[in-house]
Structure 1
Amino acid sequence: MTSVGRSRTRAVETLSLDATGTRNALSAALVGDLADALAGCARDDAVRAVVLTHTGTTFCAGADLRDPPRPEALVALLRQIAELPKPVVARVTGHVRAGGLGLLAACDIAVAAHTATFAFTEVRIGVAPAVISLPVLPRTDPRAVARYCLTGERFDAAEAARIGLVTVAAPGGDGADDVDDVLAPVLEGLRRSSPQGLAETKRLLTARVLEAFDREADALTALSARLFSSAQAREGMTAFLERRDPSWVV
């Protein structure tokens, strides 16, 4: 059974992360299912754009600590989103943590409900946002992202928009309805745009992101693997799963 739902409305394919039992955490299975779904969208001439969204109250909780994807697989997924010859639009009505922020940053446009919250929680478990830094750093304000990556603090949708992590924070109100109101003219604009125009414009806009992948992906993949196998990461992940503070908390 796939962990990614699919539907289509007027040439816009919606891919929904659908593993609510793990808060849509990035497991090896979910990463593989999402990669397969995106590949299908890339091949299908009837798809003009892709909306990436979720079921449940969490867009993505980050890496699945019980079944994490290989760092190489996550790098490949993030690059696939950035390189897809069709715009990818994130629709966020829930919370986003750690690796989930990499998905948002890889997307071309992201709209979040005012109730959504965000956090780079990697430092809290003894690792670093290594792989996801590839799309995150070229798109976000350096001072702000330094604060949030170093502290693991939560921030809201308005702040996520201010620092460039999302495009728009929907106004307060009905949550999902507000997000869809913001997305409606965006999707209509994509439907009115030519496939060639979209593909080539996206290529221009993602050039800096893809340069980061070319330059740094191998080193950051190795760093991620080393950190996740470290003693501090084992303590951090164990503490998280046991719902206690890790030993280094003062």
Structure 2
Amino acid sequence: MTALIGRTRERAVETLSLDSTGTRNALSAALVAALADALADCAEDPGVRAVVLTHTGTTFCAGADLRDPPDPDALVGLLRQIVALPKPVVARITGHVRAGGLGLLAACDIAAAAPAATFAFTEVRIGVAPAVISLPVLPRADPRALARYYLTGERFDAAEAVRLGLLTTTADDVDQALAPVLDGLRRSAPEALTETKRLLTARVLETFDRDAAHLTALSARLFSSAHAREGMTAFLERRDAAWVVV
């Protein structure tokens, strides 16, 4: 079986790369499980000071794999694992991000993307809602600005993602932009990083503890609905869904 997560390490920073380019790094059950295992290894390894989450190919993550979707509880577990990881997680994005991929992005502590990257909460266009990914997204993004993109599924660029609070920065050379960030993490005491991250993520984790069961049930209900069946079929057949007004 081909590895779904690439792993490299440089000076105490472990880079995990989503590596399922055939599905545009969509969140399949297998990819979610593989990423969760890799993160667990990083959490336990004293040689890892921080984690960079990135991708191969032109897409960071296309959202849920409609042919092999993860269990909602597993996706919630993965997002919470990133937020609660005792080491900083930095997102490095040079490609496109859709739907569930924005949940991964929002779960990270620091995020940088190239200007060519595009973003979209496409759930409403296939008949569902950004339910589970709201657990990390809503506490970290501007709700008024976010409403437009949640409700319309429109694409937006990296500069807009910074304005929304989904990205820390955008830069033509993402690696150059992240170099001082990673240097700073390497210079920081491991226990101090853990406790400082705990301060920063407390409100996000409170949202998980309060809302995860409700949003997981909502996601399961919507994905089993007639609208979702039509929306997913239309997406796979590359046609407009029946409700589209033209």
Give me the TM-score of the superposition, normalised by structure 2: 0.99
Structure 2 letter corresponding to 1:234: R
Tell me how far apart the structure 2 counterparts of residues 69 and 42 of structure 1 sit (CA, whole Å). Answer: 22
Tell me how far apart the structure 2 counterparts of residues 186 and 116 of structure 1 sit (CA, whole Å). Answer: 20
Tell me how far apart the structure 2 counterparts of residues 190 and 199 of structure 1 sit (CA, whole Å). Answer: 11
Partner of residue 201, structure 1: 196
Partner of residue 227, structure 1: 222
Structure 1 letter corresponding to 2:220: A
Deviation string 1:46-67 (CA, Å, 9 cap, x unpaired) is: 0000000000000000000000
Corresponding position: 1:113 with 2:114: yes
Partner of residue 153, structure 1: 154
Deviation string 1:107-143 (CA, Å, 9 cap, x unpaired) is: 0000000100000000000000000000000000111
Structure 2 letter corresponding to 1:107: C
Partner of residue 175, structure 1: none
Structure 2 letter corresponding to 1:43: E
Tell me how far apart the structure 1 counterparts of residues 9 and 209 of structure 2 sit (CA, whole Å). Answer: 33
- Return structure 1 stretches of 4+ with deviation > 2 angstroms: none
Give me the TM-score of the superposition, normalised by structure 1: 0.97
Unaligned runs of 5+ in 2: none
Corresponding position: 1:245 with 2:240: yes
Tell me how far apart the structure 1 counterparts of residues 191 and 174 of structure 2 sit (CA, whole Å). Answer: 28
Unaligned runs of 5+ in 1: 173-177
Deviation string 1:52-91 (CA, Å, 9 cap, x unpaired) is: 0000000000000000000000000000000000000000
Corresponding position: 1:218 with 2:219: no
Partner of residue 62, structure 1: 63
Structure 2 letter corresponding to 1:84: L
Question: What's the CA shift for 1:169?
Answer: 1.0
Partner of residue 72, structure 1: 73
Tell me how far apart the structure 2 counterparts of residues 203 and 74 of structure 1 sit (CA, whole Å). Answer: 21
The root-mean-square deviation of aligned C-alpha atoms, in Å, is 0.4
**Count of aligned pairs between the two proteins:** 244
Tell me how far apart the structure 2 counterparts of residues 235 and 34 of structure 1 sit (CA, whole Å). Answer: 30
Tell me how far apart the structure 1 counterparts of residues 203 and 105 of structure 2 sit (CA, whole Å). Answer: 16
SS at match of 1:68: coil
Tell me how far apart the structure 2 counterparts of residues 169 and 152 of structure 1 sit (CA, whole Å). Answer: 21
Question: What's the CA shift for 1:2?
Answer: 2.1
SS at match of 1:206: helix
Out of 188, 198, 202, which is 2:183 matched to?
188
